[in-house]
Amino acid sequence: MSDSGNPGRVGVLMGGLSTERPISFKSGKAVAEALRSRGFEVVEIDVGRDIDEVLRRERIDVAFPVLHGKWGEDGCIQGLLESVGVPYAGPSVAGAALTMDKVVTIHLLRGCGVPVPDGVVWTRAQGDAPASLPFDHPVVVKPVREGSSFGITIVQDASGLAEAVSTALALDDRILIEECVAGPELTVGVLEGRALPVVEIAPKDGWFDFDRKYTKGMTEYHVPARIDDDLRDRVQAIALEAARLTGCLDSCRVDVMGGAHRGPRVLEVNTIPGMTGTSLLPMAAGAVGIDFPELCERLLRMARLRNGPA
């Protein structure tokens, strides 16, 4: 990025190789359009196995990765950009790799006093399903390294556990079986080291699965969340602490369950969340007067080469 503040040719990286490829295109194209509306020179890049050749051919000055899931949100593309010397927006290699692994993230947060759900790790080598669990049903079964609710099942009793485990193990060789924490379901955007207003996620029926995330009208969102001030302050505080511990204070989105009488519990940290005009991080930014194009520009302005030569 030049000293004049003009970042030069911006490559918006989208698509990728994960199960979230179609969603990444929606986010990426929205970001590209927003940046063009702010006067930036933008090239849209579909990330495939030949991305190293594409980066050399396109000669971009700065990258804006909008890649959800494996190989994009887990440190892989960030490491490549470090290697070729291209500054980039979003998480560092370490921050992306850490937060993509839900087990490592949960262990870190729990060890540092951030409240998280109780859970156990299960692997393909261990068999069909645990014979027993250290907490009661219902439970949530999820792959360790997936997003957009892919492979997640809420299991009401022991009879459904084996099928849920099989579903999750089809997407990852490690899965997480967690207690099902009471709502409300909340999310906190973090931008430039501060917590944005809490967003409440309220599906009209069922839980916030893939369909309810991406089908218009199936979920209502409330900004600010319909919670009391004490819970709001607590949720924002633990979200900021989770962002700090994982090295993601520039920008991220922290998902939290309200927890009823037990108090809130952090579920995960999303380093490259959905980025359309109606996604949750832009929704929270909009509540404090930051429209979508301005949000994209702010994220771009924070782009840097974290581990390159000074």
| Cβ atoms of 274 and 201 closer than 8 Å | no
H-type alpha helices, the chain: 21-37, 51-58, 76-84, 93-100, 102-111, 161-169, 210-214, 229-245, 280-286, 292-301
42, containing H or E segment: strand 41-47
Report in angstroms the alpha-carbon separations of 123 from 119, 120, 128, 161, 240: 13, 10, 9, 14, 31
Tell me, what amino acid is at 287? A
| Largest separation between any pair of C-alpha atoms in the chain | 63
Q: How many CB atoms lie within 10 A of CB 79?
A: 15
Tell me, what amino acid is at 107? H
Q: How many CA atoms lie within 13 A of 67 on its CB side?
A: 31
Query: Which residues are catalytically annotated?
Result: 20, 148, 214, 253, 255, 268, 270, 274
